[in-house]
Structure 1
């Protein structure tokens, strides 16, 4: 039986877009740490290592869920300008930086970002 996708609202989508870039970096870092933790000798601090590993794994799964939500829904953004702006947001650019980059007003960049969020929310 397929697992139901967790409902993510528009406010959460705004935050995921804002944090997507660093979450990807953090996923890589946590994966490396988990690999190292899994390949070290178990000592008297095994319980502590297991607790650290479980905490990191939980955080990793949360980040992956948010990243996968965007990755799965990104194909609904088909407009050339919207796609370029989404790429910039996912690369960690702020809306102000996007506006400057594309030579548009911040208000216009915000409207396009809002349209992107609406489309991602509809899925």
Structure 2
């Protein structure tokens, strides 16, 4: 992948950060929910009802595949969220930290420039520096390879 493509990917992760956190919460509640398929009947069945096939109380193969897909997605989103949170540790300048935090919360260029009382062009330059530093870190730790390995792991 080229640097520009990685930069677009990183921008998308930052833009979708709030969504990723909400999706992590939703998937963890889905995967951690314990489903009980009802109790056993305590009375005997007679006649036609006794001859009818009964459904299994376990989880079907289709449901297991859905759970596996959700778990893979959960692992991917958790890895992205952790990586973006660790990117803060690499930043030294206070302005970069503020702009990055504003980007993570979904603020626009105009809103960030109003917040910091500087031009949109200055914000764009800071954002480009931030994205460039994160792209270097992505390449250094082979993060995209790590994400691909998560997709095949579960």
State the TM-score, normalizing by the size of structure 1. Answer: 0.80
Aligned residues: 114
User: What stretches of structure 1 of length at least 5 have no aligned partner?
Assistant: 1-7
Q: Are 1:82 and 1:116, in contact at CA under 8 Å, matched by a contact in 2? A: yes
Q: Are 1:74 and 1:120, in contact at CA under 8 Å, matched by a contact in 2? A: no
Q: Deviations over 1:49-100 (max 9, x none)?
A: 2122112111112212211221222211111111011111112223332123
> Does residue 12 of structure 2 align to residue 22 of structure 1?
no
**CA distance, structure 1, for counterparts of residue 131 and residue 14 of structure 2:** 9
| Root-mean-square deviation over aligned CA pairs | 1.9
Quick one: which of 10, 26, 29 aligns to 1:32?
Answer: 29
**CA distance, structure 1, for counterparts of residue 70 and residue 78 of structure 2:** 12
Runs of 4+ displaced beyond 4 Å: none
Q: Mapping of 1:1-123 within 5 angstroms?
A: 9-36=6-33, 39-41=34-36, 43=57, 46-123=60-137
Structure with the larger helix share: 1
Larger radius of gyration: 2
State the TM-score, normalizing by the size of structure 2. Answer: 0.65
Q: Are 1:17 and 1:90, in contact at CA under 8 Å, matched by a contact in 2? A: yes
Deviation at 1:47, TM superposition (A): 2.1
